[in-house]
Amino acid sequence: PGSFDPVTLGHLDVIERAAKIFDQIHVLVVHNPAKTALLPVAQRVALIERAIVDTGCEGEIVVTSWSVGLLVDYCTEVGASVIVKGIRSQVDVAYETPMAIVNRNLADVETIFMLPDPAHAHVSSSLVRQVASLGGDVAPYVPKAVADFLQNG
């Protein structure tokens, strides 16, 4: 789960790694009211789907969105027992740990932290949003489908 506004190469790396471990994964776009959105949720879903196809990512991968309640409600609805999050640094650990504990307390759903390739350690959607909105080149940080979309619409 995440905002994926937009999906980055770091996200895609975690998606590929998780798809190798689990029989089925769900990439879930969740609107985060704490953040100012760049792309509509449906567009984020479409770009993730496109990036997964372009990468040739293997495994059973569902891409969808959730806006009607808690993340764990979605997990319960689809029978998911594990949440996967990518961790770039200690800052991410500090941000993710309370959510992982709350999600476990709410619905007995475990969170697993995965380490993306360090090459993506500095990449974040918020940085991509800022660079893109000021006219910079985001191609090194995002899947080609996202770079094309942000450049050409």
Residues in touch with ligand PNS (CB under 6 A): 1-3, 30, 32, 35, 70-71, 99, 102-103
Instruction: Answer yes or no: are the C-beta atoms of 25 and 84 closer than 8 Å.
Output: yes
Please identify, using beta-carbon distances, which residue of 69 and 136 lies nearer to ligand PNS.
Answer: 69
C-beta of 130: minimal distance to ligand PNS in Å? 15
C-beta of 106: minimal distance to ligand PNS in Å? 7
Cα 53 from Cα 48, distance rounded (Å): 9
C-beta of 89: minimal distance to ligand PNS in Å? 14
Please identify, using beta-carbon distances, which residue of 58 and 105 lies nearer to ligand PNS.
Answer: 105
Please identify, using beta-carbon distances, which residue of 35 and 122 lies nearer to ligand PNS.
Answer: 35
